[in-house]
Amino acid sequence: MGMAEDIKLWKLLYRPPTSSWTRGKVVLIGDAAHPMLPNQGQGGAQAIEDGAALGLLLSNLPDAREVPRRLKLFQEIRKTRAAAMQIFSNAGQDEAEKIQKEARAYVKGPIPKMKRYAINMAELVGKALEAAEAERTPEESEGLAGF
Ligand SMILES: Cc1cc2nc3c(=O)[nH]c(=O)nc-3n(C[C@H](O)[C@H](O)[C@H](O)COP(=O)(O)OP(=O)(O)OC[C@H]3O[C@@H](n4cnc5c(N)ncnc54)[C@H](O)[C@@H]3O)c2cc1C
C-alpha cells in the first residue's frame, strides 16, 4: 500500500432484486437490471445469459408491435434466475447457509450448489414462446397477419 501512487476506494454495493425490468419497448439488462456482489463471480455471466435470451426472443419477430410482449417474456424467463444469483452472491462459496432463507423466494425445491445451477436457455425460451403463442387470442393473431 505504501508503494502505491494512486489508491482508489472501490465500493461494493448491494441492491435487492427489482420488480420490473421492462416498460414498452425499453428493457434493462446486465448490471442495470440485477447488480450483485462479486462473491460468486456471476455479474458478467448473468449479463451474457440476458444477451442470449434477448437474442433468441427477438430473432424471429413477426412485427415490431410484438416487441413489448417479447420483452415481458424476457423478464419472466430471466428475472427469477438473476434474482436468485443476486441473493447467492451475498454469500461466499462456502457460506450457502447464510442465504438459504432469502433465496427461497426465488428457487423452487432445494437450494442448488452454485456450480450445478445451470440452465438450457434455448429450451427455456422455446417453451416460453410456445406457451405465449398458445395464449394469443385469435384477434391478436389476426392483427399480426400480413406482417
Ligand atoms: C473486478 C471485477 C471482477 C469481476 N469478475 C467477474 C467474474 O469473474 N465473473 C463474472 O461473471 N462477472 C464478473 N464481474 C462482473 C461483471 O464485470 C459485470 O457484471 C458485467 O460487466 C456487467 O455487464 P454490463 O454490460 O451490464 O455492464 P458494464 O460492463 O458495466 O457495461 C456498461 C457499459 O456502459 C458504458 N456506459 C455507462 N454510462 C454510459 C453512458 N451514459 N453512455 C454510453 N455508455 C455508457 C460503460 O462505459 C460500460 O462500457 C466482475 C466485475 C468487477 C468490477
45 lines ligand 1 (CB under 6 A): yes
Q: 84: CA distance to ligand 1 center in Å?
A: 19
Q: 8: CA distance to ligand 1 center in Å?
A: 18
Question: How many residues in total does the chain contain?
Answer: 147
Q: 43: CA distance to ligand 1 center in Å?
A: 8
pLDDT in tens, 55-108: 999 998 988 999 999 999 999 999 999 999 999 899 887 787 788 888 888 888
pLDDT in tens, 116-130: 666 788 888 888 889
- In this structure, the residue with its CA closest to atom 15 of ligand 1 is 43
The structure's pTM equals 0.85
d(CA 72, CA 100): 28
Distances (CA, A) of 142 to 63, 103, 145, 146: 12, 42, 5, 9
d(CA 39, CA 18): 20
**Which atom of ligand 1 is least distant from the CA of 36?**
19
Choice from 31, 89, 117 to test ligand 1 binding pocket (greatest atom count within 8 A of CB): 31
Q: 31: CA distance to ligand 1 center in Å?
A: 7
From the list 22, 106, 112, the residue with the least C-alpha distance to 70 is: 22
pLDDT in tens, 29-52: 999 999 999 988 899 999 999 999
